[in-house]
Structure 1
Amino acid sequence: MKVTGLYRGKGRLIMKGKKIFKGTGIGLLVLFLFWFVREHIKLSPEEIQGWIVSFGIISPLIYMGMYTVKPVIFFPSSVLSVAGGLAFGFIKGTIFILIGSAGAAIVAYFLAHFFSKRFGDKDLGERVEKIKQKLHDEGFFYVLVMRVLPVFNYDLVSYVAGLTNVKFKQYLAASILGVLPGTMTYALVGSSIVSFNYMYLAIILLIILICALIGFWKKDKIKEILT
């Protein structure tokens, strides 16, 4: 019986060691990809736009596909979004960016959910743990605020949400609504390189004003998120 117990104990240690080894390996790979993209892949919106439109009729699918895998390759959202406005104009660009953002949010959410189940919960640091708890307690509102405010990394919020019990439908709805002001702004910046439209600017300013009023109304809760 003692021998059996000893083997079981060793087996658990080996399994735990394998999980730690795999988790560490994945973490190092993620850090390497993040560093590589930031340091060596420096494409401008114009370069991305030229590459996208070269696909002709399927260029929207290529663009949305690029946006969807963004959480894996850590490509900057701002550059891709401006490229979308430049390639497709304000209206179509906004739609394609929103769809791509939703795809990216889904990919990051389920990747985090998968690895949290596979490797168990890890100590992610006090700041991330605090965000996790807030997402768990009041998912929709906190995801919405963190999407609207530019102080939170988009993919980080997606990954952290995947580690919590926030309901997927609430998470996705808040993600789409939350990125709308920023998405429209980036699309306008991109499309303005070709031609400027004051009506689109007025729409964006109106949305920003509404967000500011809601932010003032809910300022105590927003302050709680930021602290």
Structure 2
Amino acid sequence: MDQFDKSVELFIENAGWMAPFFFLILHLIRPFVFLPVVAVCIVGGVAFGFVQGTILSYIGLMLMSAIIYFLLKRLPKFHRKMTNLKERIFPDRTLSVGQVMLLRIMPFVHFQLLCFYLMDMTKSFKEYMYYSAIGLTLPAVVYTAFGQSITEFPWYMTIAFLFVLIALFLVIEKYNKVRTVHQEN
């Protein structure tokens, strides 16, 4: 890990004032080279520190969300691919905005799929970006600040953390079902 830290620091020193721009580009190409969000945010924390790394990660994630929205609207093949993925991963299930936001915190959950769910739940680009802005704040902060710590947890702590997130997801789902039943009556 020390070698990685030194490599990132050397790259940032050599990139100078262009380093934040390169980092944003990394966020934009991340899904196409199959890098997980958590890995890129960790790099942001190592390279720029907590505050600047969080801000840059947030901006990068917001830009990626906007791009995915327009790709889903403009490319029917991409839209079909996301629809098929949605049916394979969550067949016959409707997620709430809260569940999508919680899934954003979980490492290695498909970013584009969550954007697709959010797009289906919202009526306009403005509303989509509003919920994206709220839903991407916590992952940017958590992954940048604690990303390194989370990856260094012992395996049992990582599994415990994952189970806590899954339990929260299921509680939100149950709450939404109860609320829907009460609204119908």
TM-score of the superposed pair, with normalisation by structure 2: 0.62
The Cα offsets for residues 171-196 of structure 1, whole Å up to 9 and x where unpaired, read as 2222222232222122224798xxxx
Corresponding residue for 1:172?
129
**C-alpha distance in 2, partners of 1:142/1:186?**
18
Contact residue 98 and residue 180 of structure 1 kept, 8 A: yes
Residue identity matched to 2:125:
F
Contact residue 45 and residue 79 of structure 1 kept, 8 A: no
The Cα offsets for residues 134-193 of structure 1, whole Å up to 9 and x where unpaired, read as 36xx6x54543432455732232124545x37332222222222232222122224798x
Higher relative contact order (CA 8 A, sep 6+): 2
> Any residues of structure 2 matched to 1:111-150 within 5 Å, and which?
111-116=71-76, 121=80, 124=84, 126-127=87-88, 130=91, 134=94, 140-150=97-107
Question: Per the alignment, do residues 152 and 130 of structure 1 end up closer, same or farther by CA in structure 2, a change over 3 Å counting?
Answer: same
**Local SS of the residue matching 1:181:** helix
Pairwise CA RMSD: 3.8
**C-alpha distance in 1, partners of 2:49/2:79?**
44
**Local SS of the residue matching 2:173:** helix
Corresponding residue for 1:75?
35
Question: Per the alignment, do residues 49 and 173 of structure 1 end up closer, same or farther by CA in structure 2, a change over 3 Å counting?
Answer: farther
Question: Per the alignment, do residues 80 and 119 of structure 1 end up closer, same or farther by CA in structure 2, a change over 3 Å counting?
Answer: closer
**Local SS of the residue matching 1:157:** helix
**Local SS of the residue matching 1:51:** helix
Corresponding residue for 1:153?
110
Q: Are 1:219 and 2:179 an aligned pair?
A: no
**Local SS of the residue matching 1:101:** helix
Residue identity matched to 1:221:
E
**C-alpha distance in 2, partners of 1:189/1:158?**
24
Contact residue 105 and residue 138 of structure 2 kept, 8 A: yes
Gaps of 5+ in 1: 1-43, 193-211
**Local SS of the residue matching 1:63:** helix
**C-alpha distance in 2, partners of 1:65/1:55?**
13
Question: Per the alignment, do residues 141 and 58 of structure 1 end up closer, same or farther by CA in structure 2, a change over 3 Å counting?
Answer: same
TM-score of the superposed pair, with normalisation by structure 1: 0.53
**C-alpha distance in 2, partners of 1:85/1:119?**
32
Which residue, 61, 69, 72 being the options, matches 1:101?
A: 61
**C-alpha distance in 2, partners of 1:120/1:185?**
30
Question: Per the alignment, do residues 120 and 111 of structure 1 end up closer, same or farther by CA in structure 2, a change over 3 Å counting?
Answer: closer
Corresponding residue for 2:160?
none
Residue identity matched to 1:185:
V
Greater C-alpha radius of gyration? 1
Residue identity matched to 1:88:
F
Q: CA deviation at 1:87?
A: 0.9
Corresponding residue for 1:84?
44
